[in-house]
């Protein structure tokens, strides 16, 4: 085996180890490391088929629903018809029941993409807005949900794909699908964890600032968030 092949294998091994780190939350010296909980929540969404008007922000009640699974778009049949192609504002609802084992965790929703403006509500309370149909984003909902099997939470996502001159791209050689057209995840972490709020990332960044046939350097950076009430000594 040449030195170059050995170096390449070492880099691959190191990157694999770094990737596995993204699956773990940081822990204090008093806690053992625990896996981050990630649950895909694509099934059993309600899509309200009646669009929201300009004056409406949110449907509190509406019986015009269709049960759907994600990914979903309301443009599946009209993309090639310029007269019926719908750019509008619609609402999705999803029931969330958070088990008791999530008490004490930080709870997040991770959206891989929503086109193109997404307003997130929990139990009719506005939480956060995201603009841009091609980037992931994460929303923390810890302080806005009820825990326990007997408590039901309603996640609502109002999606707007109407033309907006302030949100690129304004034109393209592909279609603009309105809706939650990629996966959605429920994520639970420890109180101390790699940050999920940095542009929808996992909070870990790996780069190779120097690579040659004889050597390579790998740089790993992490954004760690401490959401306890005191300073902690950490082991990663």
Per residue in 173-186, is it b (16+ CB within 10 Å) or e — as a string? eeebbbbbbbebbb
Upper half-sphere CA count for residue 187 (Cβ side, 13 Å): 29
- Regarding whether 216 and 100 lie in a shared domain, the answer is no
- Regarding whether 154 and 46 lie in a shared domain, the answer is yes
The count of structural domains within the chain is 2
- C-alpha span between 42 and 40 (Å, rounded): 6
Profile the chain (236 residues) by mean pLDDT over runs of 10 residues: 52 53 40 71 97 91 96 86 83 96 95 97 97 96 94 97 91 85 96 84 88 89 83 77
- The parent domain of residue 125 ranges over 35-189
- Residue 10 belongs to some domain of the structure: yes
SS3 label, residue 140: strand
pLDDT digits (tens, 9 = 90+) for 28-46: 333 334 568 999 999 999 9
- Regarding whether 124 and 93 lie in a shared domain, the answer is yes
SS3 label, residue 159: strand
- C-alpha span between 153 and 217 (Å, rounded): 47
- Residue 73 belongs to some domain of the structure: yes
Cα-to-chain-centroid distance, residue 206: 20
Model pLDDT, residue 27:
38
Choose among 138, 189, 232, 220: nearest CA to 35: 189
CATH number of the domain where residue 69 is located: 2.60.120.260
pLDDT digits (tens, 9 = 90+) for 127-146: 999 999 999 999 999 999 99
Q: Give the H or E element holding residue 221.
A: strand 216-222
Evaluate whether 119 touches 176 at the Cβ level (below 8 Å).
no
pTM above the 0.85 mark? no
Model pLDDT, residue 28:
34
170 Cβ contact partners less than 8 Å away, ≥ 6 residues apart: 163
- Residue 212 belongs to some domain of the structure: yes
- Residue 110 belongs to some domain of the structure: yes
């Amino acid at each position: 085996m040449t030195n170059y092949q050995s170096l390449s294998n070492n880099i691959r091994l190191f990157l694999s180890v770094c990737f596995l780190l993204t699956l773990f939350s940081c822990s204090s010296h008093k806690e053992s490391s625990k896996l981050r909980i990630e649950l895909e929540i694509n099934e059993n969404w309600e899509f309200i088929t009646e669009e929201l008007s300009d004056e409406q922000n949110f449907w509190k009640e509406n019986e015009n629903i269709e049960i759907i699974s994600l990914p979903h778009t309301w443009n599946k049949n009209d993309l090639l018809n310029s007269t019926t192609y719908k750019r509008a504002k619609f609402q999705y609802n999803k029931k969330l029941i958070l088990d008791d084992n999530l008490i004490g965790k930080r709870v997040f929703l991770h959206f891989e993409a929503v086109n193109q403006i997404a307003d997130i509500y929990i139990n009719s309370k506005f939480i956060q807005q995201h603009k841009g149909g091609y980037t992931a984003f994460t929303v923390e909902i810890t302080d806005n949900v009820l825990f326990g099997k007997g408590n039901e939470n309603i996640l609502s996502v109002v999606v707007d794909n109407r033309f907006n001159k302030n949100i690129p791209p304004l034109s393209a050689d592909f279609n603009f699908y309105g809706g939650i057209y990629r996966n959605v995840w429920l994520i639970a972490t420890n109180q101390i964890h790699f940050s999920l709020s940095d542009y929808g990332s996992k909070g870990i960044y790996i780069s190779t600032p120097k690579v040659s046939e004889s050597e390579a350097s790998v740089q790993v950076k992490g954004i760690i968030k401490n959401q306890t009430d005191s300073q902690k000594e950490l082991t990663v």
